[in-house]
Amino acid sequence: MSDKDRLISREEGEERLPKYRTTKDITDKPSWYFGNGFVLFWMLLFFAVVIPLMNRLPTALNIEETSSGEFIGERAYNTLNNLVNIGSKVVGSTTNEVSTVDFLLNEIEDIKQDMLSDYYDLEVDVQQTSGSFRYSHLLNMYQGVQNVIVKLSSKNSSSESYLLVNSHFDTVLTSPGAGDDGFMVAVMLEVLRVMATTNKQHFEHPVVFLFNGAEEAALQASHGFITQHKWAPNCKALINLDAAGSGGREFLFQSGPYHPWLVNYYKKSAKHPGATTLGEEVFQAGLIPSDTDFAAFVEFGKIPGLDIAQGMNGFVYHTKYDRVDVIPRGSIQNTGDNILGLVRALANAPEMYNTEAYETGHAVFFDFLGLFFISYSAETGTIVNYCAAGVTLLLIFISVWRMSTLSELSSCSVFQRLIFLVIIQIVGLVLALALPLQVAYYFDSIGKSLTYFSSSWLLIGLYICPSLIGLSLPITIYYLLQQNIKLPFNYHLQLGLHSWAIVLSVLDIVLTMWGIRSAYIFTIPIVFYAGAMIANMVTTFHDRGYSWAGLVMAGQAMPFLYSSSLFYLVISVMIPMNGRSGSSSNPDLFIAALGGIGTILSLGFLIPLINMFRKPITVILTLLLASAVTIYLASSTEIGFPYRVRTNSFRATYQHVRKIYYEYGGRVSFDESGYLFSFQDRREAEPMNGVRLTGARFLREDCEKHMMCGMPLFDERWVANRLEGIWVHRADHVVPPVATNLTLLSKTVLENNTTVRYEFELNGPDHMSLFIQPEVDDFVTLSNWSFPLSYLQNPPEYPLPYHIYYTYGIITTPLKFFLEFSKANGNFEVPIFQLGVSGHCIGGSGDALSQKFANSFPSYTSVVEWPSTYLRYIY
């Protein structure tokens, strides 16, 4: 018997493969409704497995039933509740600078009283620090911000390498900060308590617990610690703890840089792992509108570390609803177990003695539904990706050769069909991305962005179904048109999957060449597909009707679960962020792209299998119907309205402003009051039903006429979103509770007669800004000042002026500074520069008119507002 005959033999007797697709081929297919059931099965698998595992939390341990040495979730939860009860903790406020500092010191003193003093030493320091550094386009200055710092060390430890663990206790205005970042503060206190009160484990390296008091003010306290504190030079590794949500599992989303050994310790010690390299690359690409202290430690301290944060339920982040009652007790137990294990492991890591020796590159890391954790070096990842793609392409070649051997088509003819199918799959890939993006563009064009904000299930019909239509339509039409071919249809369908494997393999290779570590998400499905191909050829299922499909589906179960869980996580984090990412761009496009990519990776090998069933076009029509119904519900019913009371707020952030323009010589040319809005989501003012916005105007025209739009733009986000801001005039003047005063102390022409020095004193509230712009038309140069020269020599790009952002903590002495301007002709009796001064009374109450205005917002609004002053001088 020939090799060909052996391959096609059957236990029942020998049977030749059909030479071409026959009517019997079609009638042997399962009925059409099994096709819809096939798609429904994978959807149900997602809801039955992915959602429960992604939201799984351990039971919080209580004080009475817990043995020594374990993280006690109940006690940490009680600590969090007491911390939250202090209220909003804005930098410069009494609650932040006095009440919270006293609370932390009392908690630490309680721990010290219970500490095993025979085993451990505990030192406490309260740092009051001042400094400056460039942040975005501005110079970030601070005075007297505070850190509460604890160093815990074993009695017999001689190590000079410290592990730094950081979180922040300050909050934004109105927010009690249960999730951001009281949750992590409570975790740190409990980890400190457990480590200090149990003698189960000696730790080689001292651990510095940094409770920093000014993260929300552009990372000021972490900068002050790492550049000025006595313990900072000894800190060799970092665990940074922060939040972009409240409750759920925490995730490792940044590591290193260039220190993969840290990820290995996370792998060994985290009881409930949650991490992804994709999150790291998305964050570092600037696609997430946020920052953490991790950036300050890495940039200014060159400390490698792990950045870990809460990310779920970001809807309450930075709102008054960020309270304890939205945080499950199991969430704090989950995080506490992980952080306690990680701190203990790193505190005994031999790598801590000389971390520079282990600066060996990046890591690839990810967890599988929290069940287990995988990590390896980026170099290993490159090899794995190339090998997986190469082996898959080789197996496809062998499969095609086998098909040609067992059919009447030559290898060349089969390869031609494969190449044509690759083109078909590329068209499907493009459509799978283009259709959801088109839906996103349509909704934005009719003013209906964020329809999924409160009803995330709408994403299935808005983006997932259109992506599936795009992915399946080209190949389904192709198969429907191929009625009489000399290749058995089961082979032809396998070629469709082979072509998809080729597309993914090429993408895997290209992304790996570009240094994208997240290319592993393409490697996973092709590895399992390659495994299914090997099994099918070994068992000869490859040549037995649709028997091969069972192994393909079984093999794709894990890639489906992983890819769908990964994009479920990313989308769940990004949806609430879109409610605060600004109004200048369409956030739906990003969510649509994520939905499309997630669909492609999850179902790319599975959706072509609808062609195993009769009338596969009915599956596409069902998807089309589901998408049409969803689009109707999202665009024409209340289901698509984004906001809900307490759970999914519309964020209204504005200032009630008094702005005064002083001309050269001191004459007041303009004095107006009003409300200055910086919209945080795409819908801008549209959700503000019932709010009187009489005479409202966009700032674009003001920005063309005046330095920094002639407005007290608060920080880098307000500046970036300035063209989308609006101004609403009010008749009665705003009177801020704390006045902002700029005093010109002296004006002196220096000896060279081409330079003039102005000396000033600035008094005001705890948050202020200076905007400085020389008169460019008169060839004036700002040549020197009392601020860091590095910012002077590297100014912001035009049209932005120099921006000095200034914050008071516990120390409120006036700011004295000088500015020197040079001019070739030495004529300083004309306007030389503009100086804008803004004072922000963060936490200050407005007058009765402002309170009435704030009360007019709809109930689903989270209002953040404060009085401010803007003074524009020409000198």
Per CATH, the number for 73-369 is 3.40.630.10
Q: How far apart are CA 353 and CA 381, in angstroms?
A: 27
Residues present in the chain in total:
875
DSSP 178: I
Q: Residue 795, preceding bond cis, omega within 30 degrees?
A: no
Taking a C-beta distance cutoff of 8 angstroms, is the pair 322, 316 a contact? yes
CA atoms within 13 A on the CB side of 672: 14
Give the model's pLDDT for residue 521. Answer: 97
In angstroms, the CA 709 to CA 525 distance is: 52
pLDDT value of position 68: 77
Instruction: Give the type of residue at 489.
Output: F
Report d(CA 583, CA 766) in Å as an integer: 28
Nearest to 441 by CA among 244, 308, 596: 596
* pTM of the predicted model as reported, rounded to 2 decimal places: 0.93
Burial of 271 (0-12, 13-18, 19+ CB in 10 A): middle
Rg (CA), the chain: 31
Query: How many Å from the N-terminal Cα to the C-terminal Cα in the chain?
Result: 102
Helix, strand, coil percent values for the chain (each to nearest 5): 45, 20, 35
Six-digit token string for 367: 């967890």
Distance CA 29, CA 13 (A): 23
Alpha carbons within 13 angstroms on the beta-carbon side of residue 559 total 27
Contact criterion met (CB below 8 Å) for 474 and 431: yes
Q: Where are the beta strands (DSSP E) in 449-495?
A: none
Cβ 339 vs Cβ 191: under 8 Å: yes
Measured N-to-C along each axis, helices 465-481 and 489-513 cross at an angle, to the nearest 10 degrees, of 130
CA distance 627 to 633: 10
Among the listed residues 837, 840, 841, the one whose alpha carbon sits nearest the alpha carbon of residue 817: 837
Q: Are 537 and 399 in contact (CB under 8 A)?
A: yes
- Tell me: the pLDDT tens digits for 136-188? 999 999 999 999 999 999 998 999 999 999 999 999 999 999 999 999 999 99
- How far apart are alpha carbons 455 and 451 in whole angstroms? 7
**What's residue 483's pLDDT?**
65
Extract the tokens encoding 648: 């999914």
> Where along the chain do the CATH 3.40.630.10 domains lie?
73-369
pLDDT in tens, 387-407: 999 999 999 999 999 999 888
pLDDT computed for residue 589 by the predictor = 96
The residues with which 250 forms a beta bridge, in sequence order, are 310
The set of long-range contacts for 853-856, using a CB threshold of 8 Å and a minimum separation of 24, is 853/656, 853/675, 853/691, 853/692, 853/730, 856/690, 856/691, 856/692
The Cα-based distances of 438 to 66, 427, 579 in angstroms read 55, 16, 21
> What pLDDT was estimated at residue 10?
36
Between CA 396 and CA 505 the distance in angstroms is 11
Three-point CA angle 663, 665, 670, nearest 5°: 25
Low-confidence residues in the chain, pLDDT < 70: 1-27, 200, 287, 289, 483-485
The per-residue DSSP string of 241-253 comes to: EEESSSSS-EEEE
CA distances from 138 to 379, 721, 787, 871 (A): 38, 15, 12, 19
